[in-house]
Amino acid sequence: MTLAPIAAVVFTVLLALLAVFQIALIAGAPIGRFAWGGQDRVLDPRKRVSSVVAVVLYVGFAVLALTRAGVLFDAGQALPVVIAMWVVFGYLVLGVLLNALSRSRAERFVMTPVSLLLAILALVVALGR
């Protein structure tokens, strides 16, 4: 047995937790220092829309990872699924860099490790079963 199914499930759980965080931001929770550059305690409407987009992306990433690992659908070896998972991995690596460069200390120290863990899990899933 490979690590891909376990990594996909952990990846999905972590994305679900991030989705809850983004939903809290959308609802106006004063935790904006951890997201979107950390400049706002409460997100402005434009950044709230970005949080909605993030939640939608998280759902897509989770379905893709679970599919790639063979947990959700049996299409994990299909070329579009394989390519899409590598694109997600690249996107998450970019997220690590952006979080590490954030002007917000809170975002750098909390979200950079979270982003790194997501990228590592995505790599394990992308490598396949």
pTM for this structure? 0.93
> To the nearest whole percent, how much of the chain has pLDDT over 90?
90
Give per-residue pLDDT as tens, 30-77. Answer: 999 999 988 999 999 999 999 999 999 999 999 999 999 999 888 888
What is the pLDDT, as a whole number, of residue 1? 60
Provide the mean pLDDT of the chain: 95
Q: What is the pLDDT of residues 109-118, one digit of tens each?
A: 999 999 999 9
What is the pLDDT, as a whole number, of residue 82?
A: 95
What per-residue string of b and e applies to 13-48 under the rule 16 or more CB within 10 Å gives b? ebbeebbebbeebbeeeeebbbbbebeeeebeeebb
Note down the domain range covering 62. 4-127
Domains held by the chain: number:
1
